[in-house]
Chains A and B, each alone.
Chain A
């Protein structure tokens, strides 16, 4: 923490500042602009003040009801994702080999789902889970459990959650694995001499080393599941009915489908503010932890 003060460093940051301002602030200004106006078409806009926001945040209106439904649905989805992916990711990381050629092989296999374009992930599961031509759907139906993700909301949810677990658990596992690698072998030997149980080793040696990476994993998984769009859109298109319409899907429907610019813009701003707030909480906790360690 003894970095010298140098205001000239701003010059080095300037290019990044310009490009991000160009692609973040400029578009956001457009959105803010739309969010306070209404239109009758023909590019004629007039001032609407905070009208859209009032409608959006009032669950009794059409728009507000829609927004809160999508929001709760999305939060439930994120919660489920975290509850499954974090423990599973830790379990996989603990099971990974620590030495030898199998390390590289396992890493490659684990990282594979992360590099598949998101709509292809959707396509893979769209095919895999179909009852007529997909192995999963066919097998589940054969077992006597009715399963059809295009008609039954529960099946659709199971499909989308399983897909996300398939897609992203590896990220949690790889992060935890990286944390585990920084534990010297001597620690494990000492634990063995002391006769520590498997649980004690996990609780006192492995978990503390994974603290920070776990925080990052939770942050990334929460954020990415909170703004998920492409994968469920390909598989279910938000249906059946609205049962898998998450906030991003609803937003794109409003903005690019119905061209309801004012409503979509107000939704965008509120959506962005929620994400900014969560991000800030995590960032603060993280910098606190770093400061404690130093």
Chain B
């Protein structure tokens, strides 16, 4: 037991040190950062954070990011729900091939799609809108959502469907009124993973936006200027991108293990 404690403590220390260092940097002035290594901020300052919250080109990046992440999560789940139901309940021509093909898109490298997506979304006039990024992220999030939801739905006994049909429920009525509440925790877990993968992705999000819908992660590259790196500001922006994720994990902490338990991530 002691050995387990040591392994875990060391690992958590390893995880936390770089994050601590980022927070440490964000609370320092740039003069302190470049003048020598200090283990904690000697001249504590919140100036870096203040600059982010008062400059609209900074905080609008957060709003843009949250906008397309939310849009993508809703889209992915809405589209994946009926499909996952079909896969968990019926056999049909080509079902296995279709499932594999969907899954393979989860593994497709974003770098391959960057340029064609740029052409595609420019051609249909969606370039530089949150909708473009949300649609682009569907490439990997929709297959993922189908995969996770199918696992949860297969856990619901089929007798429930049959009873509902015998009772005269139509399919849409049954699906919304009876079935969806039964897989509510599955929908929650799926939403978590859709949020996660849309939030952390940058290559596509950056390629598909220029000014109006620019995600926060791309705004961060601005701190590299002619006068050198603004390390404090960069660190503060970094800390602020960790917070939404940390908040979401805290809310779903009891479901994470369950979602992973299905082994479908």
* Residue contact B92 to A30, C-beta cutoff 8 Å: no
Q: Which residues of A contact B (CB under 8 A)?
A: 3-10, 12-13, 15-17, 19-20, 22-24, 26-28, 30-31, 88, 91-92, 94-96, 103-104, 106-120, 123-125, 127-128, 132-136, 138, 166, 169-171, 174-175, 177-179, 181-182, 212-213, 216, 220, 223, 226-227, 229-230, 247-249, 251-252, 255-256, 261, 264, 268, 271-272, 275-276, 279-280, 283, 287
CB B35 to nearest CB in A, in angstroms, measures 10
* Residue contact B89 to A9, C-beta cutoff 8 Å: yes
* Residue contact B100 to A280, C-beta cutoff 8 Å: yes
Knowing A135-B37, A212-B263, the reply to whether A112 touches B19 (Cβ < 8 A) is yes
CB A11 to nearest CB in B, in angstroms, measures 8
* Residue contact B19 to A124, C-beta cutoff 8 Å: yes
How many A-B residue pairs have C-beta atoms within 8 angstroms? Tell me. 281
B interface, over-half SS: helix
* Residue contact A9 to B146, C-beta cutoff 8 Å: no
Interface centre among B3, B98, B112, B139 (most CB of A within 10 A): B112
What number of B residues sit within 8 Å (CB to CB) of A? 96
Rank and list the top 10 A-B pairs by shortest CB-CB distance, nearest first: A115-B245, A27-B116, A227-B109, A95-B4, A178-B260, A12-B86, A9-B86, A248-B111, A178-B261, A12-B82
* Residue contact B86 to A271, C-beta cutoff 8 Å: no
CB B44 to nearest CB in A, in angstroms, measures 17
* Residue contact B242 to A171, C-beta cutoff 8 Å: no
CA distance A199 to B225 in the complex (A): 56
CA distance A216 to B260 in the complex (A): 11
Give the residue of B89, B102, B253 whose beta carbon is less than 8 angstroms from that of A104: B253
CA distance A36 to B257 in the complex (A): 47
A-B contact pairs, 16 of them (CB 8 A): A8-B90, A16-B82, A23-B139, A24-B108, A95-B5, A112-B249, A119-B217, A124-B238, A133-B25, A136-B17, A177-B260, A223-B107, A227-B109, A247-B109, A251-B109, A256-B115
* Residue contact B138 to A272, C-beta cutoff 8 Å: no
